[in-house]
Structure 1
């Protein structure tokens, strides 16, 4: 399989990159910097030319949209959440996913059964509203909505789309107090990606296979 992973240089993305590579798959990883990855800033539309050139005319069996930011942890309602932070996080967590799909759509079609996996969060769900982290929650809800609509439009092309909550993971984003190791989360997600099919397209699932309320 040829797998493309955005944000492959750290956290869950890096673990997925390592595991798929070790399993013998062809893996194209992207990062804003790093020798082993295609240089890609998902907030810069021109940067996607690097990805298009790297993949060229090769089929892509699985696109994992993993690149994301969580900058508003601890911001206060009275004085926090500046407009610049809103712009940066929405550009990364939502627009970057759309541009990744748009760039690689021809390659996903070539695969004849290509899949798109979007890493969202349980914080996208309207059933979880404890307050705070307004930008992150809004961006993950938006990318959940994006994934659901993509699943409708791409179903006729034979491309399945899944949206996933990776769990609370011990990464730079999740912190040391998180519940899951990155190894456990990555393996669970890989199982979900393998199970994704046209019959389950549009699903919103947890890393361990539980359906998550929208």
Structure 2
């Protein structure tokens, strides 16, 4: 199985890449670092085209859209959340997902029963609205909506799409007080990806298999 993981240089992406590699899968993990083996800046259409050209039609059995940013942590409502922060966040967390899927669609179709996993967050949920982090919440909600609509359009092509909350994970983004380790998150997510099929396409699930409220 060939797995492509965006943002695989650290955090959950790196943990997922390690987990798939350990079980013998072929893993292409991307990073926006120009010195990486597989460079991809998900916000840059030219970078997407170059990455797709390097794959040269190689089938992709599982695409994990993991790359993302959380830029507005600690911003205050009265004077925070600058417009550029909104633009940069949506470019990575929403447009970046769309461009990745769009560009790699031929590779996904070349695989047998290709799958797409979109890493969103519980902060995307309309039912969980404790306030704050407006940009991140809005971008992850948009990624959730994008994933569910992609699931509808790609089902006739035999491609399944799942959207996932990885848990509150102890990473640079999640912080040291988070609930679970990267290993726990990766282990649970791999199980979710394995179970994804056309019967469950469009699902919004947490790392532990529980359906997450929209």
Q: Same fold (TM over 0.5)?
A: yes
Tell me, in whole angstroms, the C-alpha distance in 1 between the residues paired with 2:174 and 2:107.
32
Residue matched to 2:148: 148
1:97 aligns with 2:97: yes
> How far 1:37 moved relative to its partner?
3.4
1:119 aligns with 2:132: no
Secondary structure (helix, strand or coil) at the match of 2:30 reads strand
Tell me, in whole angstroms, the C-alpha distance in 2 between the residues paired with 1:49 and 1:153.
22
> How far 1:53 moved relative to its partner?
1.9
Tell me, in whole angstroms, the C-alpha distance in 2 between the residues paired with 1:91 and 1:98.
10
Secondary structure (helix, strand or coil) at the match of 1:112 reads coil
1:73 aligns with 2:67: no
Residue matched to 2:191: 191
> How far 1:123 moved relative to its partner?
0.5
> How far 1:34 moved relative to its partner?
6.2
Tell me, in whole angstroms, the C-alpha distance in 2 between the residues paired with 1:32 and 1:82.
24
Secondary structure (helix, strand or coil) at the match of 2:91 reads helix
Tell me, in whole angstroms, the C-alpha distance in 2 between the residues paired with 1:180 and 1:65.
21
> How far 1:50 moved relative to its partner?
2.5
Secondary structure (helix, strand or coil) at the match of 2:81 reads coil
> How far 1:49 moved relative to its partner?
1.9
Give 5+ residue unaligned stretches, structure 1: none
Tell me, in whole angstroms, the C-alpha distance in 1 between the residues paired with 2:198 and 2:36.
32
Q: CA-atom RMSD, angstroms?
A: 0.9
Residue matched to 2:203: 203
* Stretch of structure 1 that moved more, 48-57 or 200-209: 48-57
Secondary structure (helix, strand or coil) at the match of 2:162 reads strand
Tell me, in whole angstroms, the C-alpha distance in 1 between the residues paired with 2:54 and 2:15.
21
1:37-84 deviations in Å (ceiling 9; x for gaps):
311111111111221022112110000000000010110001000001
Tell me, in whole angstroms, the C-alpha distance in 2 between the residues paired with 1:37 and 1:173.
24
Q: Which runs of 4+ in 1 moved over 6 A?
A: none
Matches of residues 40-189 of structure 1 in structure 2 within 5 Å? 40-189=40-189
Residue matched to 2:19: 19
* Stretch of structure 1 that moved more, 84-93 or 51-60: 51-60
